[in-house]
Amino acid sequence: MPNPDNPQSGNPPRAADETFTASRWTKGNFFFPTRIVVGPQRVSRIKSRLIGSNEESIAILQVASVQIATGALWSEIRIDSSGGSNPITSHGHRKADALRIRNLVESYQIEARKG
């Protein structure tokens, strides 16, 4: 049965979720580019494979920091968890996308703490 909280379960991401896809011209992203999905409940990194995919998620309120390292063309994003799990990392995103990811995480954290 499809799971509405899992963007890979056959359902498209919810309207509030935004998906950011890494450039195919960066290392490791040519055939299966990494996607970062940011929503009100969680941040997910989805890496497709020939068969299936790998997904890592951190709940919005568990995000401790978002680090952005910009290069000449592409940015690397590192999202650290306050829960002690491994950080979510992804490279090959445009600088504007990296900044949008950070801003979305911060705004969702503010909204979650209000409610």
Answer with the residue of higher pLDDT: 97 or 115: 97
Residue 61: HSE in the Cβ half-sphere, 13 Å Cα cutoff: 6
Ordered by where they begin, the domains of the chain are 18-114 (2.30.29.30)
Per residue in 17-29, pLDDT (tens digit) is 999 999 999 999 9
pLDDT value for 2: 42
Answer with the residue of higher pLDDT: 73 or 3: 73
Per residue in 59-68, pLDDT (tens digit) is 999 999 999 9
pLDDT value for 34: 97
Place of tokens 């309120």: 61
